Chain A
């Protein structure tokens, strides 16, 4: 994922707190993806307006971690979601 790309959750893909298993999940067609703390932190920033670069900068500041490391970790996660059509890139 490029720093200038704007990720968005498409219709039919949403975050959900699973009370029974006490965890956040991403609900999508035929899938429920269990989210760890990092996955949840990234997806919570995905709002369909801010580019990926801005999201990683925000997370780097909040967690006091190197920005390129965060970009590397979250890029793979978001690309995998994109391959499943669970994430759109806005034009």
Chain B
């Protein structure tokens, strides 16, 4: 058996704790409690093993990574291991002092999330009053220090109309890049499809705004765009292909091929505290389950795009068809595509649907919303 190529990127979910409660949070519905979180030494060992395996880019994420008191020490260790170190944050929990420390520690880049372009929208979506004002303060500190910045926006039916303003805010913050991501329906977002599903018209308008802004801001602001895949012809290649490019480590040490992999019930995940990372990457059942194309069924099996998109997202296939090895129903060749689009239209029509917020780790999980 030939070995898979080494991974390029690793996402370290340092904690599931977060002051915000975004209804589309990609964390699993069953959140890892604080007392199960990896300690600092184990994270540092994970960073060193990742670098030795071939990882170049480390994303420190969560939850809110600033909720970890040892964040600065973790950044120092990541840089010492030779990793390009990126912090993905809502900004809440970062003080001017802490940012100065992160600067000292060698942090390479910051991705700041934006829940809305004004306090009314942002604080409602994040479920945290005062969050927007605080975030703007943090952005000013980030600019003062001169950290390279990407503004991360998650767009859905409620805030898609704010995209033009979000692009302006990115420029005002001197961000070099903005991620315009239409909400992906995993984790908590799956419970909020009625409240968040964009309409077809919104999806088309978003693409138009992005195309126009890309031309106008060429060389000034880079716009990376994740369209609403429910409305596309072909699915996205997820994680660059299962087990080819990246991996995630959950707060409790489970090593995952993608952040939603835990939703696939027949997969089991090795933990970083039990096995070497290289062994998990190359040999674990979870990483090998959907590597390459051998696992595919029709229509993917005989499709000429099978090494382009690798059949799309396994977790979405599972969530919508009940079979994780099915063709992603976002693909127009999937027998479930029409029913998925009809469902999407139905979700998008629920104009009065309330938000179901994510909860704090350890709190009882609310029952799945019905309508």
Could you tell me the distance between the alpha carbons of A87 and B8 in the complex, rounded to whole angstroms? Answer: 22
Q: Kindly list chain B residues whose C-beta atoms are within 8 Å of the C-beta of A12.
A: 108-109, 147-148
Could you tell me the distance between the alpha carbons of A32 and B176 in the complex, rounded to whole angstroms? Answer: 17
User: A10-B148, A11-B146 in contact; A21/B54 too (CB < 8 A)?
Assistant: yes
Q: Are A25 and B219 in contact (CB under 8 A)?
A: no
Q: Are A30 and B57 in contact (CB under 8 A)?
A: yes
Q: Kindly list chain B residues whose C-beta atoms are within 8 Å of the C-beta of A20.
A: 6, 52-54
From B56, B109, B177, A18 is in contact (CB under 8 Å) with B56
Question: Which parts of B213-251 form the interface with A (CB within 8 Å)?
Answer: 218-222, 224
Q: Kindly list chain A residues whose C-beta atoms are within 8 Å of the C-beta of B220.
A: 85
Q: Is A16 in contact with chain B by the CB < 8 A criterion?
A: yes
Q: What residue in chain A is nearest B179 (Cβ atoms)?
A: A30
Task: For chain A, give the interface size range.
Answer: 10 to 19
A38 CB to closest chain B CB (Å) equals: 21
Q: Are B57 and A32 in contact (CB under 8 A)?
A: yes
Q: What residue in chain B is nearest A27 (Cβ atoms)?
A: B84
Could you tell me the distance between the alpha carbons of A82 and B219 in the complex, rounded to whole angstroms? Answer: 6
Q: What residue in chain A is nearest B175 (Cβ atoms)?
A: A85
Q: What residue in chain A is nearest B5 (Cβ atoms)?
A: A21
Q: Are B84 and A16 in contact (CB under 8 A)?
A: yes
Count contacts between A and B, CB distance < 8 Å: 54
User: A82-B219, A83-B218, A85-B177 in contact; A32/B56 too (CB < 8 A)?
Assistant: yes
Could you tell me the distance between the alpha carbons of A78 and B52 in the complex, rounded to whole angstroms? Answer: 30
Could you tell me the distance between the alpha carbons of A28 and B109 in the complex, rounded to whole angstroms? Answer: 9
Question: Which parts of B1-24 form the interface with A (CB within 8 Å)?
Answer: 6, 8
User: A12-B108, A20-B54 in contact; A29/B176 too (CB < 8 A)?
Assistant: yes
Q: Are A85 and B219 in contact (CB under 8 A)?
A: yes
Q: Is A50 in contact with chain B by the CB < 8 A criterion?
A: no
Q: Kindly list chain A residues whose C-beta atoms are within 8 Å of the C-beta of B177.
A: 29-30, 85
Q: Kindly list chain B residues whose C-beta atoms are within 8 Å of the C-beta of A10.
A: 148, 176
Q: What residue in chain A is nearest B51 (Cβ atoms)?
A: A20
A 25-54 binary contact with B (CB < 8 Å = 1; else 0): 101011010000000000000000000000
B33 CB to closest chain A CB (Å) equals: 30
User: A84-B222, A85-B176 in contact; A29/B56 too (CB < 8 A)?
Assistant: no
B 48-77 binary contact with A (CB < 8 Å = 1; else 0): 000011101100000000000000000000
- What are some 13 contacts across the A-B interface (CB < 8 A)? A10-B176, A12-B109, A21-B6, A21-B54, A27-B56, A27-B108, A29-B109, A29-B148, A29-B150, A30-B86, A83-B219, A83-B222, A84-B222
Query: Which residues of A line the B interface, CB within 8 A?
Result: 10-14, 16, 18, 20-21, 25, 27, 29-30, 32, 82-85
Extra inter-chain contacts (4) besides given A11-B148, A20-B53, A29-B86, CB under 8 Å: A12-B148, A20-B54, A30-B86, A85-B222
